[in-house]
């Protein structure tokens, strides 16, 4: 069996390894000269900037890939658990250290609102139920047939999946600050907490179950370890070539065409590239029936991301590894981004400081960061070559005020990425950060199917297919493929 995987994000790499374990001849093709997709690494003057994922959860999903070949992940990668998972900071300077230590969580919650700890415990118990169903049972279940979805509907309704994560959390928690903290998880996978199905409340429990980890040397070292594994087990990797067409005959996949006109024939083509972009650009639309055309048209896309990477000549030792700073107009900011597709100055942001855990990420005496600001995706038609510098300056001002004094004069290295990078470099429709949104009407059967609903021999793994974005999601999508093939 000859299989081609297009794209080397975590989902694509996991799919290639799983197919190799099934004795397929596997070719992995990546447009860029380096692997990882959103998890690529940018190295600049002694600073190591992980481009994307930094919060590593459910590490067993990575271990499994090594175990398929009787290898131990610890010989390739080194993960370390973090004590404080996130520090949340509000405009009025209230801080909350979020962790897996229940006594510490009690102290932190009671500092903000004494009455909410009981509700928190009830919320955790409820998210365990969602986790048992939504993650343990369904994350690696193929949803390519309608009856699979129909069978699950009663259980999903019982778990209140018609509610949003924010409204689920509000049922248990009274204080607005705590509501924001405990409902922020959809933002990690591209959804608005005020509209994302409460199934994603499972992330709260998933973090508790396996903790939050950091990969020493950066997330890029996981990609490096997986690349080493792929080479050892005989996966052919083609870097620096883009697939420009998927060759078909009568709705059956035949192979692919590269940007140098080379054609490679295969029995299966697995796309880790963004499904809506693949159906738009690499395949022939005349094969799509009315229902599929309607499905593509009605899809709603996740937000865009503005990511500013910077190194400083000063060490900001009081900044935690992961900080989330809420602006005052949080809900309004999210509404502007997701619904109105416009920028808002009262930003909320996530600040990553890997050098808090790993001094190898910056030259001696220096500090390494990235700050991520959710912004509208490219449906907004924002001209990022004009707005980019404005947002950069806005976020530096905001960080100087509340977290990093005298930041501007201490920056020695910097660059940023906008939704244009996600659209043009990573081939993602509308430059969204996480492909299509994680809404109920776009989950499981309603997402782009792992086994194409249009062509035989065509499969999808990664953020835009079931179960969705985030490392646990895309690694699970490769397990779905494993079951289908
Ligand atoms: C800034 C940021 C921070 C994040 N933080 C976290 C986090 O802390 N924890 C977490 O779990 N998740 C996080 N995520 C989400 C997570 O990174 C993604 O959901 C996941 O990495 C996406 O993986 P994927 O398998 O979908 O592939 P992608 O990473 O999207 O990779 C797809 C690959 O396909 C290639 N490709 C596309 N088209 C073609 C073509 N025609 N020919 C050849 N190659 C092609 C692209 O170049 C790319 O390399 C973050 C995402 C971002 C952007």
Return the ligand 1 atom nearest residue 471 CA: 11
Q: Which of 257, 256, 278, 251 is nearest to 266 (CA)?
A: 256
Distance of alpha carbon 76 from alpha carbon 179, whole angstroms: 39
Query: Could you tell me if 173 and 122 are in contact, meaning their C-beta atoms sit under 8 angstroms apart?
Result: no
**What does the pLDDT read at residue 116?**
98
Asked if residue 474 has its Cβ within 6 Å of ligand 1, the reply is yes
Express each pLDDT in 242-253 by its tens digit. Answer: 999 999 999 999
> What pTM value is reported for the model?
0.98
Asked if residue 463 has its Cβ within 6 Å of ligand 1, the reply is yes
Q: Which of 244, 162, 148 is nearest to 195 (CA)?
A: 162
Return the ligand 1 atom nearest residue 14 CA: 25
Rounded to the nearest 10 degrees, how much is the dihedral formed by the CA atoms of 425, 334, 120, 188? 0
Asked if residue 243 has its Cβ within 6 Å of ligand 1, the reply is yes
Look at residue 266 and give its three-state secondary structure. coil
- The proportion of the chain whose per-residue pLDDT surpasses 70, expressed as a percent, equals 100
Asked if residue 39 has its Cβ within 6 Å of ligand 1, the reply is yes
- According to DSSP, the β-strands at 411-417 and 236-239 are unpaired
Return the ligand 1 atom nearest residue 461 CA: 25
Asked if residue 354 has its Cβ within 6 Å of ligand 1, the reply is no
Asked if residue 38 has its Cβ within 6 Å of ligand 1, the reply is yes
Query: Could you tell me if 322 and 357 are in contact, meaning their C-beta atoms sit under 8 angstroms apart?
Result: no
Distance of alpha carbon 165 from alpha carbon 187, whole angstroms: 11
Express each pLDDT in 169-227 by its tens digit. Answer: 999 999 999 999 999 999 999 999 999 999 999 999 999 999 999 999 999 999 999 99
Express each pLDDT in 27-68 by its tens digit. Answer: 999 999 999 999 999 999 999 999 999 999 999 999 999 999
Query: DSSP letter at 286?
Result: G
Provide the token pair at 153: 């509907």
Asked if residue 212 has its Cβ within 6 Å of ligand 1, the reply is no
Provide DSSP, 28-56. EEESSSSS-GGG-EEEETTEEEE-S---B
Atom 53 (ligand 1) nearest CA: 52
Atom 2 (ligand 1) nearest CA: 52
Asked if residue 432 has its Cβ within 6 Å of ligand 1, the reply is no
Asked if residue 218 has its Cβ within 6 Å of ligand 1, the reply is no
- pLDDT-derived band at 78, boundaries 50, 70, 90: very high
CATH code given to domain 304-425: 3.30.519
Distance of alpha carbon 373 from alpha carbon 351, whole angstroms: 9
Asked if residue 266 has its Cβ within 6 Å of ligand 1, the reply is no
- Within its chain, how far is the Cα of 83 from the centroid? 22
Return the ligand 1 atom nearest residue 370 CA: 1
**What does the pLDDT read at residue 312?**
98
Distance of alpha carbon 440 from alpha carbon 192, whole angstroms: 12
Beta bridge partners of 87: 97, 323
Beta bridge partners of 333: none
CATH code given to domain 103-211: 1.10.405
Q: Where are the domains of the chain?
A: 2-78+216-300+442-484, 103-211, 304-425
User: How many A from CA of 40 to the centre of ligand 1?
Assistant: 8
Distance of alpha carbon 342 from alpha carbon 346, whole angstroms: 12
Look at residue 139 and give its three-state secondary structure. coil
Express each pLDDT in 246-300 by its tens digit. Answer: 999 999 999 999 999 999 999 999 999 999 999 999 999 999 999 999 999 999 9
Asked if residue 344 has its Cβ within 6 Å of ligand 1, the reply is no
Return the ligand 1 atom nearest residue 472 CA: 11
Distance of alpha carbon 176 from alpha carbon 191, whole angstroms: 19
CATH code given to domain 2-78+216-300+442-484: 3.50.50.60
Distance of alpha carbon 435 from alpha carbon 189, whole angstroms: 9
**What does the pLDDT read at residue 195?**
93
Asked if residue 433 has its Cβ within 6 Å of ligand 1, the reply is yes
Distance of alpha carbon 485 from alpha carbon 468, whole angstroms: 19
Asked if residue 32 has its Cβ within 6 Å of ligand 1, the reply is yes
User: How many A from CA of 9 to the centre of ligand 1?
Assistant: 5
- The proportion of the chain whose per-residue pLDDT surpasses 90, expressed as a percent, equals 98
Nearest 5°: phi and psi at 423? -75, -50
């Amino acid at each position: 069996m000859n299989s081609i995987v297009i794209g080397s994000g975590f989902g694509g790499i996991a799919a290639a390894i799983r197919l190799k374990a099934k004795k397929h001849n596997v070719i992995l093709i990546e447009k860029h000269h380096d692997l990882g997709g959103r998890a690529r690494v940018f190295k600049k003057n002694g600073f190591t900037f992980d481009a994307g994922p930094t919060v590593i959860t459910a590490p067993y999903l990575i271990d499994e890939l090594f175990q398929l070949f009787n290898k131990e992940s610890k010989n390739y990668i080194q993960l370390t658990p973090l004590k404080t998972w996130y520090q949340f900071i509000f405009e009025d300077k209230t801080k909350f250290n979020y962790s897996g230590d229940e006594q510490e969580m009690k102290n932190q919650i009671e500092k903000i609102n004494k009455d909410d700890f009981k509700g928190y415990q009830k919320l955790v118990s409820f998210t365990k139920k969602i986790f048992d169903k939504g993650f343990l049972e369904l994350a690696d279940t193929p949803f390519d047939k309608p009856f699979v979805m129909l069978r699950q509907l009663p259980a999903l309704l019982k778990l209140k999946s018609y509610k949003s994560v924010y409204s689920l959390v509000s049922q248990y928690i009274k204080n607005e600050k705590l509501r924001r903290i405990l409902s922020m998880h959809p933002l990690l996978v591209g959804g608005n907490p005020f509209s994302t199905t409460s199934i994603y409340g499972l992330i709260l429990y998933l973090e508790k179950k396996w903790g939050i980890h950091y990969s020493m040397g950066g997330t890029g070292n996981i990609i490096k370890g997986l690349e080493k594994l792929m080479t050892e087990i005989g996966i052919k990797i083609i870097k620096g070539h883009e697939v420009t067409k998927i060759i078909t005959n009568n709705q059956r996949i035949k192979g692919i065409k590269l940007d140098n006109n080379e054609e490679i024939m295969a029995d299966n083509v697995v796309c880790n590239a963004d499904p809506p972009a693949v159906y738009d650009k690499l395949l022939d639309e005349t094969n799509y029936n009315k229902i599929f055309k309607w499905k593509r048209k009605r899809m709603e896309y996740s937000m865009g991301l503005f990511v500013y990477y910077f190194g400083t000549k000063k060490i900001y030792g009081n900044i935690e590894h992961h900080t989330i700073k809420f602006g005052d107009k949080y809900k309004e900011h999210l509404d502007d981004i997701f619904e109105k597709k416009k920028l808002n100055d009262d930003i909320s942001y996530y600040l990553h400081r890997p050098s808090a855990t790993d001094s190898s990420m910056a030259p001696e005496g220096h500090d390494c960061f990235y700050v991520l600001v959710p912004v509208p995706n490219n449906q907004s038609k924002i001209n990022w070559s004009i707005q980019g510098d404005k947002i950069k300056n806005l976020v530096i001002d905001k960080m100087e005020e509340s977290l990093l004094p005298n930041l501007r004069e201490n920056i020695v290295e910097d660059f940023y990425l906008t939704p244009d990078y996600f659209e043009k470099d990573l081939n993602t429709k509308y430059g969204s950060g996480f492909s299509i949104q994680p809404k109920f009407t776009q989950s499981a059967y309603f997402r782009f199917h792992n086994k194409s609903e249009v062509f035989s021999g065509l499969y999808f793994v990664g953020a835009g297919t079931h179960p969705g974005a985030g490392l646990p999601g895309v690694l699970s999508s490769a397990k779905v493929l494993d079951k289908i093939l």
